[in-house]
Structures are given as structure tokens and as C-alpha cells.
Chain A
Amino acid sequence: MAGQLEGKVAFITGAARGQGRAHAVRLAEEGADIIAIDLCKQIETVGYPMSTPEDLAETVAQVEALDRRIHAVEADVRDRDAMQAAFDAGVAELGDVQIVSANAGIAPLSMNPVPEEWQDVIDVNLTGVYHTVEVVKPSMIAHGKGGAIVLTSSTAGIAGIGGNTPGGLGYTAAKHGVVGLMRSYANQLAEHSIRVNTVHPTGVNTPMVVNDVMQEFLESDPSLSNAMANALPVPMIEAVDISNAIVWLASDAARYVTGVTLPVDAGFLNKR
């Protein structure tokens, strides 16, 4: 049986591990080839260990084990020229991109906040998403086959959670900003049959969330941990739950779905 994304090429940022790797593997299972981008370096204001070149190599191995092709590049979403070069090289190898997952993000939340967190999280989580779409847009319009762009926001992209630190405020502001980008792009790109939607995960079992620094931060403020309680009886969800939503949004089954903020949040936002 043909996969739901057979013959398509997907451009995924933050693909070395966590949600991004799950998206690459899940989309590949459904028949897509993958262009995978990740920084694979530490950013100084981020308290938990970020991805490594070995992580990205593991994503490559897992996609290739599914008999799909993957073009992986270490690139920074903050660097538009590097992103353009990575994208162009991927297209040259794999063909026209019809699916985009703008997933790369950081969460500089810690007990020892520094002012620089604000700019870093805005640069990665908002400007990085803008760069991702801008880099893809001209060729997606030109190839004329339409496309599906999925931007990863957060429950913090709809509700004012995340705490009072520069990094927490920046995270919430950036994730809200992603919704504004999505709505604008959805209107502007509709005439080209390009759909643009956001996904809004609650806490996901990935290295960005499950680490000592983040756990210490969440436990420091009871109002935060209360704020993190889901309605459905599940404390934390898995990366593949987000991937399944992205597969559906990217597939032709959702060909008339655009401008949607899709919560994969176990009822978290509805409680507020």
C-alpha cells in the first residue's frame, strides 16, 4: 500500500533528535524523502545539552533504514544564507519540496536566567521559522504543485505560560509570533494552493523537556507545574503524537485545511 506522502520531499528543521527526528522518521515511513537541518551545536544561554552531529547521523541512519533518501546538513536557522544553501543542495539532490516542518526551537528556561536568553530564543524560535518559510517559498510557488507548511508553535503560543524569566517570556512571545506568521502566510500563499498550519504540543518526552535544568525550573514554581497539567489522564505525550498530526496536515487528506492552530495538548489549552 502506498504511503500517505509517497513521492514527496519534506524539509525539516531541528531534525537531529526529539520531535524533529520523529517527524523525519514518521514522514519517511509514509514515503517521503527528507532534507534535514540541525544546528548540532550548543547555544550558550541554553542550560540543557543541545543536539550533536552524532544525533543528526542517527536520524540519517533511521531514515535510510526505511529505504528513503535523506540529505542532512548542519545549519543554523538564524543564518538565512546557510539555510538557503542547505535547502538548495537538498532540492538538487532530492527534488522539489512540498512539505515543510519548521520545528527547530530552544527553551532557555533555568533558575539562573541571563538577559541574553531573550534575543536567542526570539532569533531561533521566531526568526528561524520566518527564515525557514522564506527560504522555501519561491521554489514552492514556482514548482506549482502546491505544498503544506507546518510550523511548530506550543501551548505557550496560545496561552501566557512559560514564566517570568527573559527566556520564558521570549519563548512565549516567539511561539505566539509563529501563529501570526502562520495566519499571514496562510492567506498570502493560498492562491498557490500552499497550506500553512501550526501545531501546539503540550509537554513532550524529548531531551528539550526531560532534563535536569528544565525539571528544576518547573518544580521551582508550583503555579507552573499546575499550569502543565493536561486534561486527559496523561502526564506527558510522545514525539510521535506530534508527528502523526504533521503527517495528516501534510497529506492530501487535509488538502483544504489551512490556517489551523492544531493543539496536540491532551486538553491542556481548553482548561484555561
Chain B
Amino acid sequence: MAGRVEGKVAFVTGAARGQGRSHALRLAEEGADIIAVDVCGPIPNLQYPHATPEDLEETVRQVEALDRRIVAREADVRDAAAMKAAVDEGVAELGHLDIVVGNAGICIVAPWDEVTEEIWDDTVDTNLKGVWNTVRLTAPHLIAAGGGSIILTSSAAGLKGLPFITPYVASKFGVTGLTKAFAHELAMHNIRVNSLHPTGVATDMGQMGAEYPRMLEANPRLAGMLTNSLPIEVTEPRDQSNAVLFLASDESRYVTAMAMTVDAGNTQY
């Protein structure tokens, strides 16, 4: 039986591990070839280990084990020239581009008065400018292909002002808005643009949750904001990937400008 995205090519940022790797694998399982990028290096102030070149190699290995092709590049979403080279080389090798997943992001937990200018700039540049770079550098290829689907990873924090991550909230609200604006401008080209809004996910980045107890001790009234309404603490990367797959596939051919929450009810609670 043909896969749900058979014969398509997907560009995935932040693909070395975590949600990005999971998206690459889920799309590959359903027949897509992959262009994968990841910075694979340190970013200051991270409270969890950064992705490595070995992580990206592991993504390559796992996609190839599914008999799909993959072009992987170490590139920083903040670096437009490196991103453009990765996209253009990937499309040259794999033939065309149909799906874009703007997933790369960072999250640094700190109460408002401990956020430094460096944390603000790194977070907003990676999570917002990086997504803008991703869309503007891939859209010409989607137009050339006659249409496509773009999925941008925002967050529950892109709909709800979750505490102790102010730069992250600002960047993710930005992604929510960027999604809706790009959806307007690109609709005439049959390109759909939707945002994904995860609650907590069991990944390396998810480890930053360990920073919360100290802050909640100082401000316990905010603890309820982090609660999921379904009886689970955390989702798996594959739960997010299943939503990416639906939005990438023709099953959702008339779904655009949507904020898709995979948040166990967090933003409605």
C-alpha cells in the first residue's frame, strides 16, 4: 500500500534528534524523502545537552533503514546563506520539495528578572527568525512544485502566556502569527501553512522542565498553568509527528492557517 506522503520530499529543521528526528522518520515511513538540517552545536545558556553531528548521523541512518533517501546538512537556521545552500542542494539531489517542517527551536527557563539580552536574542533569533528563514527560503521550491504544505512548530506557549520562559513565549506567539500571515500570501500558490502547538514532549529539550520547581516554589499560584487536562504528564515525539503527517498529507488538503494543538488540553484548561 502506498504511504500517505509517497513520493514527496520534506525539509525538516532541527532534525538531529527529538521531535525533528521523529518527524523525519514518520514522514519517511509514509514514503517521503528527507532534507534534514540541524545546528549540531552549542548555544549558550542551554540547560540541556545540545544536538551533535553524531545525532544527525543517527537520523540519516534511521531514515536510510526505511529505504528512503536523505540529504543532511549541519546548518544554523539563523544563518540564511547556510540554510539556502542546504535547501537548494537538497532539492537538486532529491528533485523537488513538497513539505516543510520548521521545527528547530530552543527553550531556556528563567524568571523574568534573570533573562539576559543574550538569552533573548538567541531564543528569538532561533525560534522566530529561523522559522522566517525556513519559509522564505523554501517557498520558491514549493511554488515551483505547484503547491505544498508548511508546518511550523510553535508551542502551547504560542497561544498561552506560560511563565518563566518570556523570550520563548514571545518567539512562539510570533510563529503563530507568522503562520497565519504566510497562509494568506501563499494560498494563491496552493501552499498551506499551519502551526503545531505541543505541550511537554519527552525529548532532550524537555529536560528543561527540571528547572521549574525552583521557580514555582517562589510563585506557586502559577503551577496550574502547566497542567494537562488529559491524565498524562508528557506526550511522545511521535504524537507530534502524527499531527505533522496529517497536515503534510493530502488528507488535509483544505486545512490551512490552523493552530493545531497536540497539547492534551493544556491551552483550553
Which segment of A6-14, A16-24, A259-267 sits at the interface?
A259-267
Q: How far is the CA of A72 from the CA of B226 in the complex (A)?
A: 43
Binding site secondary structure of chain A: mixed
Residues of A in contact with B (beta carbons under 8 Å apart): 1, 183, 186-187, 190-191, 193, 195, 202, 230-234, 237, 241, 244-245, 247-248, 253-260, 262-267, 269-271
Nearest Cβ on chain A to B223's Cβ, whole angstroms: 18
Q: Is B229 an interface residue (CB 8 A)?
A: yes
Q: Is B190 an interface residue (CB 8 A)?
A: yes
Contact residue among B231, B251, B256 (Cβ-Cβ distance under 8 Å from A193): B231
Beta-carbon contacts of B167-205 to A below 8 Å, as 1s and 0s? 000000000000010011001101010000001000000
Q: Is B232 an interface residue (CB 8 A)?
A: yes
Question: Known interface pairs A263-B255, A267-B183. Does A256 touch B268 (Cβ–Cβ under 8 Å)?
Answer: no
Q: Is B52 an interface residue (CB 8 A)?
A: no
Residues of B in contact with A (beta carbons under 8 Å apart): 1, 180, 183-184, 187-188, 190, 192, 199, 228-232, 235, 239, 242-243, 245-246, 251-258, 260-265, 267-269
Check B239–A255 contact: CB distance below 8 A.
yes
Nearest Cβ on chain A to B196's Cβ, whole angstroms: 11
Chain A contacts for B239, CB-based, 8 A: 253, 255-256
Nearest Cβ on chain A to B149's Cβ, whole angstroms: 11
Check A258–B257 contact: CB distance below 8 A.
no
Chain B contacts for A256, CB-based, 8 A: 199, 228, 230, 232, 235, 239, 262-264
Question: Known interface pairs A231-B257, A256-B232, A263-B257. Does A186 touch B268 (Cβ–Cβ under 8 Å)?
Answer: yes
Contact residue among A186, A244, A255 (Cβ-Cβ distance under 8 Å from B251): A244
Check B229–A232 contact: CB distance below 8 A.
no
Check A267–B257 contact: CB distance below 8 A.
yes
Nearest Cβ on chain B to A116's Cβ, whole angstroms: 34
Chain B contacts for A231, CB-based, 8 A: 183-184, 187-188, 256-257
Question: Known interface pairs A241-B254, A257-B261. Does A1 touch B184 (Cβ–Cβ under 8 Å)?
Answer: no
Could you pull out 25 A-B pairs where Cβ atoms are within 8 angstroms?
A187-B229, A187-B268, A195-B230, A202-B254, A231-B183, A231-B187, A231-B188, A232-B190, A232-B254, A233-B188, A248-B251, A253-B243, A253-B245, A256-B230, A256-B263, A257-B243, A257-B261, A263-B258, A264-B254, A265-B255, A266-B254, A267-B183, A267-B256, A269-B257, A271-B184
Check A259–B265 contact: CB distance below 8 A.
yes
Chain B contacts for A265, CB-based, 8 A: 254-255
Nearest Cβ on chain B to A265's Cβ, whole angstroms: 7
With A241-B253, A263-B255 known, 16 other A-B pairs at CB within 8 A are A1-B1, A187-B268, A190-B265, A231-B187, A231-B188, A231-B256, A234-B254, A247-B251, A256-B230, A256-B262, A259-B229, A259-B263, A260-B260, A264-B255, A266-B187, A267-B187
Nearest Cβ on chain A to B269's Cβ, whole angstroms: 6
Contact residue among B235, B257, B261 (Cβ-Cβ distance under 8 Å from A259): B261
Check B256–A187 contact: CB distance below 8 A.
no
Chain A contacts for B190, CB-based, 8 A: 232-233
